[in-house]
Amino acid sequence: MNSLYAGIYRLVAQIPPGQVATYGQIASMMQRCGARQVGYALAAMPDDVDIPWHRVINARGEISARSGGSGESEQKRRLLAEGVVFNRGRVDFEACGWPGPDWRWLERHGYRVFPD
DNA sequence: AGATTGACTGCAT
DNA sequence: CATGCAGCCAATC
């Protein structure tokens, strides 16, 4: 497990229940990491770690389709169970969007505090 | 070392 | 609103 993946996992683990974050949002908090890497990291995520991967969705507020085929319904099911609000098939960012960890948390864990 | 491949994004059409 | 396309960056041939 390299540090990039570990960093992404730790960040994703900070998303509180009932809220969601986008791939790009996670990526922008990391040093030199694109949105695709976040998805790539989640796709390669080992099963022996407990990460709320279902709270990460794409910028359009929808569940991203994965190569595996299934898993999207599972993701939506978990989100609904946490009380995430869906509006016309998309997550309502106004109500459930994750504002992000506070700056102190980011600093303590070595993430980028200010964008460039 | 170069090409391909993604759970992505933003802008243009 | 749907598609297309370029930019993106680490992992994998």
User: With contact defined as beta carbons under 8 Å apart, do A19 and A55 qualify?
Assistant: yes
pLDDT value of position A116: 58
The domain in which residue A26 lies consists of 3-108
pTM summary value:
0.93
Provide the CA A110 to C1' C2 distance, Å, integer: 40
Which pLDDT tens digit goes with each residue over A8-52?
A: 999 999 999 999 999 999 999 998 899 999 999 999 888 778 899
Total domains present in chain A: 1
Which pLDDT tens digit goes with each residue over A46-86?
A: 877 889 999 999 999 999 988 876 788 899 999 999 999 99
Indicate which CATH number applies to the domain containing A60. 1.10.10.10
Provide the CA A116 to C1' C1 distance, Å, integer: 34
Q: Nearest 5°: CA angle at A16, between A89 and A4?
A: 95
Domain membership flag for residue A88: yes
Provide the CA A24 to C1' B12 distance, Å, integer: 21
Task: Return the nearest residue to B5, CA–C1'.
Answer: A40
Query: Protein footprint on strand B: which nucleotides are under 7 Å from a CB?
Result: 6-10
